[in-house]
């Protein structure tokens, strides 16, 4: 028998996953708590037992996305000692996500549509980009300390610039995948970034 905490974690994951899947298909505004419950195979009451509202489900979903990204980047830092290779890998991972999990970016775009309407969504979006910048900044700082990168880098500016490149390529790929050669663009971004750090 699972403990109460294990059951809660399992149910929250199931509900969050259901929300992820239907938001990727139908958007945010078009779904209800009942839709999430139906997709998860639960009653609406079960969803409300674990989450106060649809927005709470969305925040949980966003936090789970952040946790996945943080985990991938932490693996890179742990397994790859060279800061240049760490930076290469983080850029590649960031761009590979759009190819391997295009629904992830669709969900992120749904969150973007909400930032002007909901303070909560603005905050969770800011949290995602803050985490992403922080991961890149740690790599840049390590490289500067080891003399691998230029000592005059302004790490938050460089990290923001890298994210801008990744997001630009990702959005073009989402909107026009037959035209954008994601693999070639990925390598071009890696080469350009590494030539400037």
CA distance 24 to 84: 34
- 67 and 87 belong to one structural domain: yes
Q: Residue 185 is encoded by which pair of tokens?
A: 């663009």
Question: What's the CA dihedral at 147, 148, 151, 155 to 10 degrees?
Answer: -130
How far is residue 59 from each of residues 19, 26, 55, 123, measured CA to CA in Å?
A: 11, 18, 6, 10
| Residue indicated by tokens 């509900």 | 15
> Do 21 and 93 sit in the same domain of this protein?
no
* Residue-wise pLDDT tens digits, 21-35: 887 777 667 788 999
CATH number of the domain that 15 lies in? 1.10.10.60
- 3 state SS of 177: coil
Do 26 and 108 belong to one domain?
Answer: no
Residue 132, token pair as written in the block: 């992403």
User: What are the residue ranges in the chain where pLDDT is below 50?
Assistant: none
107 and 76 within one domain: yes
Q: Decide: 133 and 160 in contact? Cβ < 8 Å.
A: yes
Range of the domain at 36: 1-51
- pTM for this structure? 0.77
Q: For 43-86, what is each residue's pLDDT tens digit?
A: 999 999 999 988 888 888 878 877 887 888 888 888 889 999 99
The number of folded domains in the chain is 2
Same domain, 147 and 121: yes
Could you tell me if 9 and 84 lie in one domain? no
């Amino acid at each position: 028998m699972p403990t109460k905490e294990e059951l809660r974690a399992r149910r929250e994951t199931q509900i969050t996953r259901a929300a992820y899947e239907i938001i990727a298909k139908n958007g945010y505004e078009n779904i209800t708590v009942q839709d999430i419950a139906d997709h998860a195979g639960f009653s609406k009451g079960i969803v409300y037992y674990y989450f106060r509202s649809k927005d709470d489900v969305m925040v949980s979903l966003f936090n789970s996305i952040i946790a996945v990204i943080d985990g991938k980047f932490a693996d890179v830092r742990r397994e790859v000692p060279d800061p240049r290779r760490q930076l290469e890998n983080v850029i590649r991972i960031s761009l590979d996500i759009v190819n391997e999990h295009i629904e992830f970016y669709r969900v992120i775009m749904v969150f973007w549509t909400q930032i002007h309407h909901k303070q909560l969504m603005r905050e969770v979006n800011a949290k995602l980009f803050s985490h992403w910048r922080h991961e890149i900044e740690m790599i840049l700082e390590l490289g500067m300390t080891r003399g691998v990168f230029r000592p005059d880098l302004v790490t938050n500016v460089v990290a923001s610039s890298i994210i801008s490149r990744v997001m630009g390529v990702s959005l073009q790929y989402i909107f026009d995948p037959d035209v954008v050669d994601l693999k070639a663009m990925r390598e071009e971004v890696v080469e350009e970034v590494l030539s400037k750090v």
